[in-house]
Amino acid sequence: MFVKEIMAEDIYFVHVPGNRTHALEIMREKKVSGLPVVKNGTNELVGVLTRTDLVENPDEEQIALIMTRNIVTASPDDDVKEVAAKMIENNIRRVPIVEEGQLVGLVTASDLINKALWKMDIQVPAENYMIQNIPTSWEGTPLNVAFEIMRYYKLKVLLGLNNDGKISGILTETDFIEESEVVSERTVHNTSVGTEGDKWSWDSKSVLYVIKNHLKFSDKTIKDVANTELVIVTTKTSVQECANKMRQRNIEQIPVIDVEGDLVGLVRAVDLIKAISD
C-alpha cells in the first residue's frame, strides 16, 4: 500500500509569519493536535507545529520561534511501511507528504490505523505493543496537578482512578489545553547596592520586573473533564481488533487490563503501527 492511498490531502496548516493565538484557534476548531507550517503565499513546507510546542513555549508568540524545523517527510509514492518506520524511529505522530518541497498531504498515526492496520490480519496480542509505565492519578486530583503528572511521564495521556483503584476516565493533552489559558504573571525583584563603611553613602535600589507567561487551569478535577465512555482491551486482544476499536471510536489510545480487570498498560496508535513494519 502506498502513502498516496491513505494520506489526507485536504489538510489544515498555518503560515509564517504567524502567531500562536491563530494556530491554537485552528487546532481547537478543527480538533487537530498538529499543523504543518508553510511559507506565506506558498505551499513550501518549513516546519511543523504541535500542541506540545505551544504548551512548552507559553512565552513565545511567533510560530517561527516555536515550530519544529527539522522535519521528517515522505513522498506520495512511498510505502506505508516506510512512513510507519519513520514515525517509530523519530517518535512522532504525523509526517507531512511533500513533492519537490511543496506540501501535498499529511499522514498521521491515526491514518495508518484507520486506513491500513485495521484491515490487516495481525493476531499478535496487544501486550506485545503496550506500554506499562503510564501516568495515573485519583479522579479527584485538580487539573493543574494532573497536568504536571502527565508531563513528568512525557506522555500525552493520563488515566483517572476511582476510590477502588479502577479506571474511571481518560484525559488527553487536548483535554488539558481546552481547560487552560495562557496568563501573564509579574514578579518583582529588588536589589540593593551601597558602599560598605561609608556612612554618608546612600543605598541604591533597583527594581526588576519579570513578566512570564504560564498555563492556568480551571478549578476542575480529573473527574469533571475525563472521558468516562472508556474503550478497554485485554492483554490478549489482537492488534487488528485494537486498531478496529480505535477506528470506530476515533481515539488514539486504549487502556489494557489483565484477566482480573486490573490496569496493566496502555496501547497507543504510535505503538500499534510498529506491527505494520514488523
* pLDDT tens readout for residues 20-50: 889 988 988 888 889 999 999 899 999 999 9
Asked if residues 65 and 52 have their Cβ atoms less than 8 Å apart, the reply is no
Predicted confidence (pLDDT) at residue 10 exceeds the cutoff of 70: yes
Helix (H) or strand (E) holding 234: strand 233-234
Predicted confidence (pLDDT) at residue 163 exceeds the cutoff of 90: yes
Strand partners, 263: 257
Residues in the chain: 278
Q: Which residue in 56, 55, 38 sits closest to 47, CA to CA?
A: 38
Model confidence over 193-240: pLDDT tens digits? 555 555 545 455 565 544 456 678 889 999 999 999 999 999 999 999
> C-alpha angle with apex 80: 78 to 81, nearest 5 degrees?
105
* Residue written as grid cell 503565499: 41
- Distance CA(185)–CA(30), nearest Å, equals 30
Mean pLDDT of 100-121: 94
Q: What is the pTM of this model?
A: 0.80
User: Which pLDDT value is given to residue 124?
Assistant: 95
